[in-house]
Amino acid sequence: MAGLTLKNINKSYANGFHAVKNLDLDIKDKEFVILVGPSGCGKSTSLRMIAGLEEISDGELYIDDKLVNDIEPKDRDIAMVFQNYALYPHMTVFDNMAFGLKLRKMSKDDIKEKVTEAAKILNIEDLLNRKPKELSGGQRQRVALGRAIVREPKVFLMDEPLSNLDAKLRVQMRSELSKLHKRLQTTFIYVTHDQTEAMTMGTRIVVMKDGIVQQVADPQTIYASP
Ligand code: ADP
Ligand code: ADP
């Protein structure tokens, strides 16, 4: 189980730019929260602070009631999936997915079981021996998801994971991600600038503008508001 509490979180970059202002948010366990807003409004910065990839300038971040401001990314039990996949080009799909587990010294048998199971969920079982360059964009994004799934994190962070895909695949992957969320029963936090994407996937939507949260509501309420 993994709920998150963001208490009055702020981010000022080294150049003085105040990218995120007084962010207050309670995210319940197993929620699918979408951060939406125009480019530059502070979505990625917020996500990266949750992941521990960016230092929090001020405020407090709790995961399951534990203050994690100073906890390293690898000890936060969080997985992040990026827009550009970030796969290792010289490794096979299997090894890409296995990489994090090998670092944790998991046994070969257990690694094989976890990777095979995740590949089944994502429908990429036939691709395990290929290299990333032999895959389509959608397949690469599945591998990136697979690499996150095998670690069984408490929280999934996704930063525009579908924006490099063509329109048709994007629509398909949206519904697959909704299914994946139900199946994994974990907390998802998803960043997008695409309003349609926000409306069709999340259980709760956080609208940001200029580093400030404008509105927090379920998709129906947002849709009904002017
Ligand atoms: P979004 O994800 O909503 O597009 P970001 O969180 O990436 O927005 O960026 C928020 C704002 O912070 C933008 O104006 C961006 O230019 C600025 N920003 C991002 N990274 C840095 C940085 N390392 N130094 C200074 N400003 C930055
Ligand atoms: P090493 O880390 O010793 O070089 P590999 O990375 O080649 O070993 O493989 C690690 C384990 O994962 C081995 O047990 C291997 O059988 C298994 N493995 C590698 N590729 C696949 C695959 N495509 N499907 C199933 N199991 C695989």
- DSSP labels, 19-83: EEEEEEEEE-TT-EEEEE-STTSSHHHHHHHHHTSS--SEEEEEETTEE-TTS-GGGS-EEEE-T
- Taking the centre of ligand 1 as the mean of its atom positions, its distance from the CA of residue 144, in whole angstroms, is 24
- Taking the centre of ligand 1 as the mean of its atom positions, its distance from the CA of residue 90, in whole angstroms, is 31
171 has which bridge partners? Answer: none
Rounded to the nearest 5 percent, the helix, strand and coil shares of the chain are: 40, 25, 35
pLDDT at 74: 86
Residue 140 confidence class, pLDDT cut points 50, 70, 90? very high
For the entire predicted model, the pTM comes to 0.87
- Give the residue-averaged pLDDT of 134-147: 93
Q: Is 174 in the pocket of ligand 2 (CB under 6 A)?
A: no
Ligand 1 atom closest to the Cα of residue 48 is 6
What are the phi and psi torsion angles at 53 (to 5°)?
-85, -10
Closest residue (by CA) to atom 26 of ligand 2?
112
What are the phi and psi torsion angles at 64 (to 5°)?
50, 50
Looking at all shown ligands, the one closest to residue 16's CA atom is 1
Q: 181: which DSSP letter?
A: H
Residue 224 confidence class, pLDDT cut points 50, 70, 90? confident
Closest residue (by CA) to atom 18 of ligand 1?
19
pLDDT digits 0-9 by tens, 152-210 = 999 999 999 998 888 888 898 898 899 999 999 999 999 999 998 998 898 999 999 99
Tokens coding 204:
């709760």
pLDDT digits 0-9 by tens, 46-82 = 999 999 999 999 999 999 999 999 999 989 999 999 8
